[in-house]
Chain A
Amino acid sequence: MLLDIIVSGLISGSMFALLAIGFSLIFGVARIVNIAHTAFYMIAAYCIFFFTQRMGVGPIPAMFMAIIIVTFLGLIAYRFFIEPIREHEAAVLIGTIALAIAMQEVMLLFFTGDFLSVPSLLEGFFSLMGVKIFFQQLLTFGAVLTILIALWLMLMKTRLGLAVRCMAEDREVANLMGINERRVAMATMGISVGLAAFTGAVVVPLTILNPFMWMEPLIIMMAVVVLGGLGSLKGSFIGAYILGFTEALVVFLIPKGAFLKGSVALSIMILVLIIRPEGLFGIAFEEER
């Protein structure tokens, strides 16, 4: 039981972390609340399905192609659709909801609303103290961890990472240091969507595809970000694992807990908003631009 909870919590926590960090990154740097974030994740999952099931491409090349295509799509959406309305918060919110629904409708047209699935990359499982651990789960967890470490190194060790951190804290002062806001925002959007695409690509064998699959992770991601504090990467990371483990606890410890799974994220979101609206590591945005 304990091991079940740990395995399940770690895996879903890592997925949430990837999504939430990508979402926080672009919010932190450009103050964009990108509701379409998980829609890009959905597109990536469909790309994998299309390439592996319809075109016969191998799973690994398919993954790379999916990430490249979705990132490119995200950059186009950003450049021509989000950037012109960037300074107008309400417009960004409405615009990105529209974008997500548009992507959902396009997928509905292409693939219909049928539930689809992609076979695991690695078949089989092993038992650890009576708990079945699938190789695919292990692979997903390993890939997620690798990407999280790579992202951390990028943020802490590279020039772009420095610019991203500066912009997340104070856009105006970052500008005074010679940082080109537009270019860094664009690069960050690429990384952010790339992370969403990667998440979609690794999660696809563990889930069922349909054009509405972006909504549930969106709610979870929002809950993570609210819990961790909007704009804080550290908060998103820790918040994601808190949520992952809480979900696992509810599923395994409460009778018929699986039915309550969906309510965990919403309950946490509401509780945080009542008790501590700025979240665990929230930054107070006082008169900065």
Chain B
Amino acid sequence: MLLDVEHLNVFYDKAMLLNDINMGVDTGELVSLVGPNGAGKSTLLRAVTGLVARDREISKRSTGGDVVLQGLIRFENIQIQNIHAHEIVKMGLVHCPERRRPFREMTVRDNLLAGAYLIKDRDKTMSNLAKVYDLFPVLKGRGSQISGTLSGGEQQMLAIGRALMTEPRLLCIDEPSTGLAPILRAEVFEKISEVSRLGITVLLVEQEVGAVFAMSSRNYVLSSGRIIAEGTGEKLLKDEVIRKTYLGL
């Protein structure tokens, strides 16, 4: 497995956000995490990419509540549960955050170059930049536009492009379709399958179950911090209880 999560528990302020999570992602897969709001999908991504560990470190040094992370997270058989987020990026595990969060005051080009921060080879960065522009033609020719003035869909493309600039092997994308019009959602999902076809492993968090099941190789259903089901979309949709209770279909 490329990514392995074993017996992962996460607490924020004594609230248990993740409860004994066991899951994994294999090289080349597109795996989705689905489930209702507050199920812990985003927290799982944040734990995997080092942001929970980061929160824990900040809370230790401030008056904020306690953050606890127990269990094992392995990326290519290296334990990463205590590694800094910026070190995890170096290993090729990259997080495209919820609500897109472009650097709003910076230009499109600078946003993409920020993704290439760790890549010191200038030529490589430039060829990656060209690849990202090819993948997202909406961004092409708009390098000098301030990213805060892009539309929601364009900002999502930019956020994915920025994450791709880090040369990920496992790309975690959190809720890419939130707040987008249906046509744009379809386009974003199309781009994500395209990224997956390029050979990049994807771990996707989404609410839009229909679209996700059609493209992902495997899915995990989360509810109240637990994984309650796992399998292909087809299999999960056959299960009446899961379909009605957790997926709302």
A-B interaction: yes
Whether A162 and B86, one on each chain, are in contact in the complex, defined by CB atoms closer than 8 angstroms, is: no
Interface on chain A toward B: helix, strand, loop, or mixed SS? helix
* Contact A178-B101, Cβ < 8 Å, known A87-B58, A162-B113: no
B180 at the interface (CB under 8 A from A): no
Q: Which residue of chain B has the shortest Cβ distance to A232 in the bound complex? A: B105
Assembly CA distance A222 to B98 (angstroms): 34
In angstroms, how far is the closest chain B Cβ from the Cβ of A78?
A: 15
Cross-chain contact A88 with B49 (CB below 8 angstroms):
no
Chain B residues positioned under 8 Å from A178 (CB to CB): 86, 89-90, 117-118, 166
| Residue among B54, B63, B115, B166 making CB contact with A172, cutoff 8 Å | B54
Residue with the highest number of chain B CB atoms closer than 10 Å, among A162, A172, A174, A178? A178
A289 on interface, CB distance cutoff 8 Å: yes
Cβ-defined contact, A166 with B58, below 8 A: no
Q: Which one of B51, B86, B104, B166 has the highest number of Cβ atoms from chain A below 10 Å of its Cβ? A: B86
A170 near B103 (CB under 8 angstroms)?
yes
Residue A267 interfacial (CB < 8 Å): no
Q: Is B86 in contact with A170, judged by CB distance below 8 angstroms? A: no
B104 touches A169 (CB 8 A): yes
Q: Would you list which residues of chain A between 45 and 97 have a CB under 8 Å from chain B?
A: 84-88
CA distance A166 to B162 in the complex (A): 12
- Does A169 lie within 8 Å of B62, measured CB to CB? no
Q: Is the CB of B106 within 8 A of A165?
A: yes
Give the distance to chain A from B57, nearest Cβ to Cβ, in Å.
9
* Interface residues on chain A, size class: 20 to 34
A175 and B61: CB pair below 8 A? no
Query: Could you tell me the distance in whole angstroms from the C-beta of B26 to the nearest C-beta in chain A?
Result: 23
Which chain B residues border A174 with CB–CB below 8 Å? 114
Interface string of A135-175 (1 = CB under 8 A from B): 00000000000000000000000010011011001101111
Within 8 Å CB of A213, what residues of B? none
- Tell me which of B101, B113, B118, B166 contacts A170 (CB under 8 A): B101
- B85 to A175, Cβ gap below 8 A? yes
Residues on A with beta carbons closer than 8 Å to the beta carbon of B94: 176
Name A179's contact: one of B50, B63, B86 (CB within 8 Å): B86
Distance between Cα atoms of A146 and B55 in the complex (Å): 40
- In angstroms, Cα B95 to Cα A175, docked, is 10
CA distance A204 to B26 in the complex (A): 64
The one of A84, A88, A179, A181 in contact with B117, judged by C-beta atoms closer than 8 angstroms, is A179
Taking the closest CB of chain A, its distance from the CB of B228, in whole angstroms, is 29
Q: How far, in Å, is A30 (CB) from chain B's closest CB?
A: 12
Contact A162 B89 (CB under 8 A): no
B148–chain A nearest beta-carbon distance, Å = 10
CB within 8 A of B61: which of A84, A172, A177, A179? A84
CA distance A61 to B110 in the complex (A): 38
* CB-nearest residue of chain B to A287: B99
Min C-beta distance of A218 to chain B, whole Å = 25
A180 and B86 contacting across the interface, CB-CB below 8 Å: yes
B117 near A173: Cβ-Cβ < 8 Å? no
Please provide the chain B residues from 87 to 132 with a CB less than 8 Å away from any CB of chain A in the complex. 89-90, 94-95, 97, 101, 103-106, 110, 113-115, 117-118
Residues of A within 8 A of B113 (CB): 162
Whether A169 and B105, one on each chain, are in contact in the complex, defined by CB atoms closer than 8 angstroms, is yes
Nearest residue (CB) in A for B89 is A178
Contact with B along A220-261 (1 / 0, CB 8 A): 000000000000000000000000000000000000000000
Shortest CB–CB separation between residue B121 and chain A, in angstroms? 13
Closest chain-B Cβ to A32's Cβ sits at a distance in Å of 13
Report chain A residues within 8 Å CB of B115: 177
Report which of A87, A162, A173, A180 forms a contact with B110, defined as CB distance below 8 A. A162
Q: Which residue of B lies closest to A88 (CB)?
A: B62
Question: Is A177 touching B106 in the complex (CB atoms < 8 A)?
Answer: no
* A87 and B61 contacting across the interface, CB-CB below 8 Å: yes
A175 pairs with B166, CB closer than 8 A: no
C-alpha spacing A159/B97, complex, angstroms? 22
Q: Mark B15-53, 1 if CB is under 8 A from A, else 0.
A: 000000000000000000000000000000000011100
A177: which B residues are within 8 A, CB to CB?
86, 89, 114-115, 117-118, 162, 166
Give me 8 A-to-B residue pairs in the complex whose CB atoms sit less than 8 angstroms apart, sorted by A's number. Answer: A87-B58, A88-B61, A166-B117, A176-B97, A177-B115, A177-B118, A177-B162, A181-B86
Beyond A87-B62, A169-B105, 18 additional contacts (C-beta under 8 Å) are: A87-B64, A88-B61, A88-B62, A162-B113, A165-B110, A166-B106, A166-B114, A170-B101, A172-B97, A175-B50, A175-B54, A176-B51, A176-B94, A176-B95, A177-B86, A177-B162, A178-B90, A178-B117
Residue numbers of B with Cβ under 8 A of A are 49-51, 54-55, 58, 61-64, 84-86, 89-90, 94-95, 97, 101, 103-106, 110, 113-115, 117-118, 162, 166
Top 7 closest pairs, chain A to chain B, by CB: A87-B62, A178-B89, A178-B118, A87-B61, A175-B85, A169-B103, A178-B86
